[in-house]
Amino acid sequence: MRRDTPSDVIDAKRRRRTLSAALALTLALLAAACGTGGGSPTDVGSGADDVGTTSETAGSEDADAAAEGSGGVLRIAMSAANVPRPTTPPTEGGEGLRFVGMTIYDGLTRFEVEQGEELPRPVPALAESWEVSEDELTWTFTLRQGVTYHDGSPFNAESVAFQFDRMKDPEFEFYDEFDAPRHGEQYRTFASWEVIDEYTISITTVEPNAWLDWSLAQIMLPSPAMIIEHGNENYAAYASGTGPFRMTRYVDGEIMELEANENYWRGRPKLDGLILYPQSEASSRTASLQSGEVDWAEVPAPDALASLEADGFQIFMTEYPHAIMLGFNQFREPFTDITLRQALNYAADREGLASILSDTGVPAGQYVPPFHPAHAPDVGFFYDPELAAELLAEAGYQPGELSLTLAYPLSGSGNMYPNPMVEKLQQDFAAIGVTLELSPYEWGAFSDIGLAGLEDPLYGEYDLLWRSPGAGMLPNYYGRDWICERAGGKAQQFGYCNTTVDELYYEAAATFDIDESFEILQQAEALITEDAAALFWMHDLNLRVMSPDVRGYVHPKSWYVDFMSVWIEE
Amino acid sequence: MVSLIIRRAAMTLPILFGVTIIVFLLMMVLPGDPAQSFLAEDATAAERDRIRAELGLDRPLPIQYATWLADTVRADFGFSPFRRRSVSSLLAQAWWNTAVLAAASAVVGLAGGVLLGTAAALRRGRLLDKVISFVALTGLSVPSFFIAVVLLIVFSANLGWLPSAGTGMDQGFGTFLKHLVMPMIAGSLGTLAITARVTRASVIDTYGADFVQTLRAKGMSQSQLLGHVAKNAISPVLTTSGLQIGNLLGGAVLIETIFRWPGIGTLVYNAITSRDLLVVQGATLVIALTFVLMNLIVDVAQATIDPRLRQAVH
Amino acid sequence: MAVQAFSAQPVKPTREEHDMTAAISVPDGATVEELRAAWWEADHGADARPFWTEVGRRFVANKAGVAALVFLLLLTSSAVFAPWIVRADPLVGVATDRLLPPFSPGHLLGTDEQGREMLARLVYGGRLSLATGFVPTAFATFIGTCIGVWAGYKRGISGTILMRTMDMLYAFPAILLAIAIGASLGAGALNSMIAVTIVFIPPIARIAESATRQVAIQEYLEASRLSGAGTLRILRTQVLPNVANQILVYASGLVGVAMLIAAGLSFLGLGSQPPTPEWGYMLNSLRDTIYSAPLLTVLPGLMIFLTSVAFNTASDALREAMDMRLA
C-alpha cells in the first residue's frame, strides 16, 4: 500500500484548490447555461441543445507538464465484473477494448484519443498510409516496417491476413468459432483481402465503405505465432500483440498485469506498467481509490464525488458520443403516433435528472451531443410539461388513461445509473398522468432484448426499450441504431423506420470525404429528431476519478483512452 | 460407525442428483439465449445456429442433461465457452478462494458464537447475558452487505487501515490476513449470532437437565460440571454449524462482490446472469456436495459424542 | 443468509413426563388437548391456569417481549394508516431538494436521493416491507407444515420422497436459490416473496416432521387410529395442535430473516421495484449516498433492523413463555 509523502500531500492540497476552482467555474457555467441555479422548472431548458457544452478541465492542467515525468505502475479499478479476456476482440465490451484491447494490441488504424477537444477520428497506426481504388471498393494499406509482436515474431501483411482469415473464413485452420461472431460488425463489409507484398495488404469491400478506416481501429491484431503454437482455446494465456503494453500476468476473474513495451513503435509509454482489477461494485471501487489501492477508478457513485473532490482526487467528465435514450415501440400502437412520442419527449425533466445524478450527465435533445459533427443545430427536445400535457391530450389520452412498460437493464457499463433514472422518469410521466411500469433485467439478459428487438413476440409487450448507444462514436453507429433493417436482417430494435434516413445513411457511408459524410448524417440526425424516434434523454459525461498522483492523462471524447502520456508522480 | 457413514453417504447421492435436476430446470426457464451473448448485434441466423450447435443447445433437453451427467460422473464438468476455460479449473480456483473465506468465517463465527453463548448462559439474566443477546440479535438483523459497505468505508476509505479488495493471497501471509479481516467479519456475523443463540439455549437447557442436578447434588465442582454440560450441549450447536457452513459457502455472493473476492458465489452469480449453464451446474453441484459432506461430518461427530444419536440418525 | 432451526422446547407434559399416579378425571372421548390440560391441572394443582392463559401471563411479564409486540403493532398500524399519518407524497420528489438532512424544515427525516420525503417513504414503505417479511413466512409455514406433518405421520415412500426433496432444496444455499428463482421469474416484490417462500419451506418442513414423529408415537394416536379415525382427521385434530407451537416459535423468528433476504435480493436488483417504497430497496438506492448523507442511508437500515429485532424478541419471549420448565 502506498502512503503519501509530505510533499505529495502539499501538492495534493494545491491541486485540490485549483481543481475546486476549475470545478466551481465549470458548475457556474453549467448553471448559467441551463438555469438550474434556482429557477423554476419552467424557465429551465429553453433549448436543450445549448446545454452542457462544458467539459472538465482538470486533464488539461497536465498538458503543460506533459514532458515532466515518467514511470510508475497505474492500478485501475474497472467496472467490469471480470478481467477482459485478452482475445481479439476482448470480452467485456467497450471496457475490454479500452483496457486490454488497445493496450496489448494495435490495429491498422487507431482513434486519435490523445486529444480531448473533438470526436476522435482514425489515424494511421500499423498501416502508415492507404489508398482507395477508383471504384471505391479496394483499399490498399502500406504497413509499418520493423514492428515486432511481444513474442518477437515480425509484424507483416501475412500476420494481418492471418487475423482476417481467423475471423472471416470458416474454412481456415485457425478460424475462431467463438470470437468471430462477436466480431462480425467490424468485418461486415469485407469481401476479400490480399497480401500484395510483405508490407502491403489490400481489402476489397462488398460495397463502397467510406468508414472502413473507422472499423479497422477496432480490429486488434494478435501474433499468429502464439495462436499457431497454443491454439485458439489457450491463446488468452499467451496473448501477444504489438501494443504499448505487454501482458505479464493474467488470472481470469482476478487481475491482469501489463508492463511497458520497451520497443513500442510510438516510443516507450511513460508508465512502467498497468494493473487491472475487475470491480463491479461502485462503492468498492470508490473505497479502493480512497484507500490508495488503485490510482484510477471507473464510474464511482455520483454521490461520492463531493467527498472525493474534497479529498483531492481528480474528477474527469466530458461530453462524449454516448447517449441514454428510450426507444418507443413503433411496431404497434400507441407509439405509431408521433404526437405521443413528442409528448413524452417534452415530459422528461432532464435537468432535474442531471441534478439527481450529481451532474454526471447532461440533458440530451437528440441522438448525438452538441460537439458532434453530425449534431443538428435547430432541432431537439427539452422539458416542457405543459406542452407535454397538451400533446398528450392531442394524441387522444386523458391523464390516467395511458400505462406504459419499460424494459431496462439493472447495471452494465455505459448505462449510467438506471435505477434513479427510471425512478425519476416514473415521476415525470406521473406528472402528466402517464403510468410507467418497470421491467428490469440484469445486463446479460437485457442485451438479448436489444439483439432480438421488440419485434420478437417474447419482448413485444414492452412499450419502451432502454438504449445506451455510443451515439455517433463511429459514423456507422447511425446504421446500427437507426436504419430500417439491421445488418443481420432484423428490423430496427424498436421498429423505427424512415426510408429517407436509410437513403441518407447509405449516401454518407459511400461519401469518402469524412466532413461531407458527417454533413449528410446531420440531415439524417435532424430527421430522426423530428420523427421523435426515441425519447432522447441524457448524455453521459464519461465519469472517471483518479488519484492526484496520476499525471499526463487527457480525457478524450471516446470510450477509448491513450495511456502513452500518463505517468505516476511518486 | 462405518455402516452409519456408508448409509448416510448413500443417502446423499439422490440428493445431489435432485439438486442437478433442479438447477438444470431452473436454467431452462431463465429468459435469454446463451448463444446470443457470443454474437455481434447484427449477427446472422447462420452464425447463431453455428454457435447454438457448438454449445449443444440444439439438442433436446433430456439429452443435454444426460450428456452433462455422464461427463460429470467422470469428473469432467465440461467447458465454459464464456470463460474459454474448463469448468473444473474455474471451480477449483473459485472454490479454494471461497473455502478459505468460509473456513475463516466459520472458525470465527462458531468459536465466537460458542464462547459468547456459553458466557451468556452462565450469566443468565445478568448484564453480560443481555449485552450478548443484543449483539446476537444485531447480527441477525442487519443485512450483511450493509455491514460490508460500512466496514469498507470506515476501515478502508477513511482510515486506510485495511485493504478494500482482493484476496492478497499472492502477497504473503500478513497481507492475506489484512485482506481477510473485513470479508470475514461481514461474513461471520450471522453465523456468530445464530451460534451464540443456539449455544445459550442449549447450555441453559442442559443445566436444567436431571443429570446435572444429580451431579451438582453429588458436589461436583463448577468446572467439572461444565465439562459434562458441554458434552451434552454441543449437539444442537453442531447441527447448526453444519447448516451454517452451507450458507457461508454459497451465500457469500454479496460479500464477495463488495470485497472483490473471486469466490464461488460471484462465479455462480455471473454465470447465472450470462446463462453459462455448465458453470452454474458444476458450481451448484460442488456447493451442494460440500454442504452435504460437511453435514455428514457433523452427523458422524454427533454420533461419536453422543452414542444415543447413532440410532436416531437414519 | 441464515435460515436456522432453533431448538424448540416441549411445551406441555407428554404422558411420560406426567406423574401418572396422580388421579385425573376426564370425560370419555376427550381430545388430546383436554387430556393434557387435565394432566397439567393434576400436576399443578386445581387452581393452575389453563395453558394459554399461563403462556399469556408469562409473556406479558416479559417486558422486552411486550415492548417488541407493541412496536410491531404500532409499525403495522402506521403502515396501514399511512395516509392519515404523513401528508407528503412518498412517490413524488423535488429533484433540487434531494438528500436534505434529517430535521430540515418541512422534512422531519430529510429527503431521499430523488428529493422525496423520507418520513413518508419510511411509513409507506412499511406496507411492502412488512409484507416481504410476513407473507413468505406465512405461506412457507403453511406449506412446510403440511409437508412435514404428512411426511412425519405417514413415513413410507411418500414421506421419504417429500423429505428428500426438502433436503435437496436445503443443500442449495438460500441466497443462490433466491437468485436463480429471481432470475427466472424476473425481478419484483412478488417474485422475491415467492423465492423466499421456497427457501423457507424445507426448514419448516423439517421441524414439522420431527415434531410430528414425536407425537405420532404417542399412545393416544394409536387409540384414535384403532377407533377408526381417518388420517386427515387425526392429523387435524390430534397432530396439528401438538406440533403447532414448535413451528410457530420457529416461524416467528423467520420474519426478520425474510426481510434480510429480501434486502439482499434488492442489492442484486431482484427485489421490489419502484415506485412503491420498500425498505430493502431504499437501503440499496441510498447505499451510494453513504458518502454524502450517511444519516439518510442508515434510516431504512434502521427500520429493517428494528423490525427484525422486534420479531426475534417477540419470538424469544413467546418461546420462553411456552417453556413450562422455566416456571
What backbone torsions phi and psi does residue A374 show, to the nearest 5 degrees?
-95, 5
Which position has the higher pLDDT, A427 or B9? A427
Question: In this structure, are residues B138 and C309 in contact, taking their beta carbons and an 8 Å threshold?
Answer: yes
Q: Which residues of B touch A290 (CB under 8 A)?
A: 156-158, 160
C-beta atoms of A427 and C91 within 8 A: yes
Residue B286: name the closest of B33, B98, B59 by CA: B98
**pLDDT tens figures, B157-197:** 888 899 988 888 888 888 899 999 999 999 888 889 888 98
Which residue in A233, A95, A111 sits closest to A177, CA to CA? A233
**Which residues have a Cβ under 8 Å from the Cβ of C143 and sit 6 or more positions away?**
C197, C201, C204, C205
- Say yes or no to pLDDT of A36 above 90: no
pLDDT of residue C123 exceeding 60, the answer is yes
Check residue B157 and report its DSSP letter: I
**Distance between CA atoms of B112 and B109, rounded to whole angstroms?**
5
Please state, in angstroms and rounded to a whole number, the distance separating the CA atoms of residues B103 and A96: 34
Q: Are A472 and A374 in contact (CB under 8 A)?
A: yes
> Would an 8 Å CB–CB cutoff place A292 in contact with chain B?
yes
Label residue B13 by pLDDT band (50, 70, 90): confident
* Whether A268 contacts chain B with CB within 8 A: no
Q: What's residue C316's pLDDT?
A: 82
3-state secondary structure of C111: strand
Query: How far is residue C147's CA from residue A159's CA, in Å, rounded to a whole number?
Result: 66
In order of A44, A84, A364, A537, B86, the CA distances from A49 in angstroms are 12, 36, 7, 12, 51
The mean pLDDT value for C74-82 works out to: 91
Residue contacts between B and C (CB atoms, under 8 Å): 148
What is the DSSP secondary structure assignment for residue A260, as one 8-state letter?
E
Chosen for mutation from C91, C94, C114 (greatest number of chain A CBs closer than 10 Å) is C114
Q: Is pLDDT larger for residue A65 or for residue B41?
A: B41
Where does the pLDDT of residue A14 fall: very low under 50, low under 70, confident under 90, or very high at 90 and above? very low
Split at pLDDT 50, 70, 90, the class of C35 is low
Residues from chain A that touch B36, judged by Cβ atoms under 8 A, are 447-448, 451-452
The set of cell numbers assigned to A119 is: 470526436
Cis peptide preceding A302, ω within 30 of 0? no
Q: Distance between CA atoms of A378 and B6, rounded to whole angstroms?
A: 80
Q: Residue C93: is its pLDDT beyond 90?
A: no
- Chain B: residue whose CA lies nearest to A485: B42
Whether residues B250 and C175 touch (CB distance < 8 A) is answered with yes
Report for A204-208, C180-184, C203-207: range of highest mean pLDDT: A204-208
Interface test with B, best of A283, A308, A458 (most B CBs within 10 A): A283
Q: What does the CA dihedral B302, B304, B310, B312 come to, rounded to 10 degrees?
A: -10
Indicate if the pLDDT at residue B134 is higher than 90.
Answer: no
Residue with more model confidence, B108 or C17 = B108
- Neighbouring chains to B with at least 3 Cβ pairs closer than 8 Å: A, C
A391 pLDDT exceeds 60?
A: yes
Which pLDDT belongs to residue C31? 60
A301 CB within 8 Å of a chain B CB:
no
Positive/negative CA dihedral, B56, B58, B61, B63: negative
Under the banding of pLDDT at 50, 70 and 90, the label for residue C33 is low
**Burial group, residue A523, by CB count within 10 angstroms (0-12, 13-18, 19+):** middle
Q: Is A237 exposed, middle or buried (0-12, 13-18, 19+ CB in 10 A)?
A: middle
| Cβ neighbours for A565, distance < 8 A, ≥ 6 positions apart | A66, A114, A270, A552, A553, A554
Residue A33 has pLDDT above 50, yes or no: no
Q: How many helices (H) and strands (E) does chain B have?
A: 13, 2
Is the pLDDT score of C40 beyond 70? no
Instruction: Provide the residue type at A393 as one letter.
Output: A
Counting beta carbons within 10 angstroms of the beta carbon of residue A333, is it exposed (0 to 12), middle (13 to 18) or buried (19 or more)? Answer: exposed
B41-51 residue pLDDT tens: 666 777 778 77
Does the beta-carbon distance from C183 to B239 stay under 8 Å?
A: no
Contact A136, A212 (CB under 8 A): no
What's the pLDDT at A258?
Answer: 97
pLDDT at residue B75 in the model = 79
Cis link prior to A222 (omega < 30° from 0)? no
How many beta-carbon pairs under 8 angstroms link A with C?
A: 79
For residue B288, give the nearest of C160, C177, C197 by alpha carbon. C177
Task: Name every residue whose Cβ is closer than 8 Å to that of residue B8 and which is 6 or more positions away in sequence.
Answer: B296, B299, B300, B313, B314
A290 inside 8 A of chain B by CB? yes
User: What confidence score (pLDDT) does residue B43 get?
Assistant: 67
Q: Do C2 and B244 touch (CB under 8 A)?
A: yes
The nearest CA of chain B is from the CA of A160 a distance in Å of 21
The whole-number pLDDT of residue C158 equals 86
A124 cis-preceded (ω within 30 degrees of 0):
no
Distance CA C305, CA C311 (A): 10
How close does chain B come to A279, measured CA to CA in Å?
A: 6
How far apart, in whole angstroms, are the C-alpha atoms of residue A432 and residue B130?
55
A470-507 pLDDT, tens digit each? 999 999 999 989 999 887 778 999 999 999 999 999 99
Task: From chain A, pick out residues whose CB is under 8 angstroms from the CB of C288.
Answer: 282-283, 301-304
- Confidence category of residue C30, pLDDT binned at 50, 70, 90: low
Residues 6 or more apart whose CB falls under 8 angstroms from that of A150 comprise: A104, A223, A240, A241, A242, A246, A247, A261
Is A177 an interface residue toward B (CB < 8 Å)?
A: yes
Please give the ipTM for the structure prediction: 0.85
DSSP label at A155?
A: P
* Rounded alpha-carbon distances, angstroms, from residue C205 to A217, A236, B201, C244, C250: 61, 49, 22, 12, 11
Q: Which residues pair with A405 in a beta bridge?
A: A437
Residue B157 to residue A236, Cβ atoms within 8 A: no
Most B CBs within 10 Å, among C16, C168, C196, C199, to test the B interface: C168
Residue B37 pLDDT greater than 70, yes or no: no
Higher-scoring residue by pLDDT: A61, C274: C274
Range B73-93 average pLDDT: 85
Residue A179 has pLDDT above 80, yes or no: yes
- Which helix (H) or strand (E) element contains residue A408? strand A402-409
Q: Which comes out higher in pLDDT, residue A419 or A22? A: A419
Task: Give dist(CA A38, CA A56) in Å, integer.
Answer: 22
How many beta carbons lie within 10 A of that of residue A41, not counting itself? Answer: 18
Cα-flanking dihedrals φ and ψ of residue A251, to 5°? -115, 110
pLDDT surpasses 50 at B247: yes
Query: What is the rounded CA–CA span in Å between residue B206 and residue B226?
Result: 10
Tell me whether residues A356 and C91 touch, CB distance under 8 A.
Answer: no
Residue A22 banded pLDDT, cuts 50, 70, 90 = very low
pLDDT at position A303, please? Answer: 85
A183 within 8 A of A167, measured Cβ to Cβ: yes
Distance CA B102, CA A504 (A): 60
Query: Is A430 touching C (CB cutoff 8 A)?
Result: yes
A73-78 and A296-298 as β-strands: parallel, antiparallel, unpaired? parallel
- Which residues are CB-neighbours of C206 under 8 A, at least 6 positions away? C5, C148, C163, C166, C170
| Distance separating alpha carbons of residues A428 and A378, to the nearest angstrom | 25
Of C311, C255, C262, C306, residue with least CA distance to C282: C262
- What is chain A's mean pLDDT, rounded? 86
Burial code of C265-289, b = ≥16 C-beta within 10 A, e = fewer? bbbbbbbbbbbebbbbbbbbbbbbb
| Residue A513 pLDDT | 95
Q: How many CB atoms lie within 10 A of CB B71?
A: 16
**Any B CB within 8 A of A288 CB:** yes
Put simply, the chain B residues between 38 and 67 with a CB less than 8 A from any chain C CB are none
Per-residue pLDDT band for B38 (boundaries 50, 70, 90) equals low
Task: Say how many C-beta atoms besides its own lie within 10 A of residue A275's C-beta.
Answer: 18
Q: Tell whether B236 lies on the interface with C, counting CB pairs under 8 A.
A: yes
Higher pLDDT, C61 or C249: C61
Cα A237 to chain centroid, rounded: 27
From the list B242, B253, B247, the residue with the least C-alpha distance to B280 is: B253
Q: Assign A467 to helix, strand or coil.
A: strand
Which of residues A511 and B314 earns the better pLDDT score? A511
Decide if A356 and C95 are in contact by the 8 Å CB cutoff: yes
Q: Angle formed by the axes of helices B127-141 and B87-122, to 10°?
A: 150
Query: Higher confidence at residue A456 or residue A204?
Result: A204
What are the distances in angstroms from CA A312 to CA A20, A167, A548, C292? Answer: 9, 46, 6, 16
Give the residue from B29, B49, B84 with the most A CB atoms within 10 Å of its CB, the best one to mutate: B84
Nearest-Cα residue of chain A relative to residue C95: A352
**Given this model, what pLDDT does residue A29 score?**
40
Sort out which chain C residues have CB atoms less than 8 A from B143's CB and list them.
260, 263-264, 267, 280, 283, 301, 304
Nearest in space to A49 (alpha carbons), one of A25, A37, A33, A36:
A33
